[in-house]
């Protein structure tokens, strides 16, 4: 997976096994096929993995254009236990200004159950 505006590879996304489905400034989606390495000690999907998947979808969206953005704030609400063999994170631009962009990312499992809601804001560094 590559970071949009820089074209550099996202090594962390690659390490986790996250693939980009599509990216634009308005919306992006990423998918992760679940393996045993993604599970916590209780057998569930690790919360840090869910956060990382959402954060990577957020970064893919806000950096899909020519400008370079960095994250300012992020929070997550876990809503349900993940079932199945894959997670999908869809980041959607909710609004912003000349320098700030606000996104919400919905994480769903392979049964289309809403697993987490991630909200984040980014600051534009350059054109």
What does the DSSP assignment read for 62-77?
HTSSSSEEEEEEEEEE
- CA nearest to 54, candidates 112, 122, 108, 111: 108
CB atoms within 10 A of CB 19: 12
- Percentage of the chain surpassing pLDDT 90? 83
pLDDT digit string, tens, across residues 60-79: 999 998 899 999 999 999 99
CB atoms within 10 A of CB 84: 12
Share the mean pLDDT of the chain: 92
CA gap 84, 33 in Å, rounded: 9
* pTM for the structure as a whole: 0.92
CA gap 91, 88 in Å, rounded: 10
């Amino acid at each position: 997976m590559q970071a949009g505006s820089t074209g550099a590879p996202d090594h962390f996304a690659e390490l986790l096994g996250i693939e980009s489905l599509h990216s634009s400034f308005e919306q992006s989606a990423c998918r992760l096929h679940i393996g045993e390495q993604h599970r916590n000690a209780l057998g569930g999907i690790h919360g840090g993995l869910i956060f990382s998947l959402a954060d990577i979808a957020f970064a893919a969206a806000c950096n899909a254009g020519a400008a370079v953005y960095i994250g300012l704030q992020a929070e997550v609400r876990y809503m349900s236990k993940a079932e199945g063999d894959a997670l999908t994170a869809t980041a959607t631009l909710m609004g912003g200004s000349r320098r700030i962009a606000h996104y919400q990312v919905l994480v769903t499992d392979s049964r289309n159950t809403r697993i987490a809601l991630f909200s984040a804001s980014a600051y534009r560094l350059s054109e």
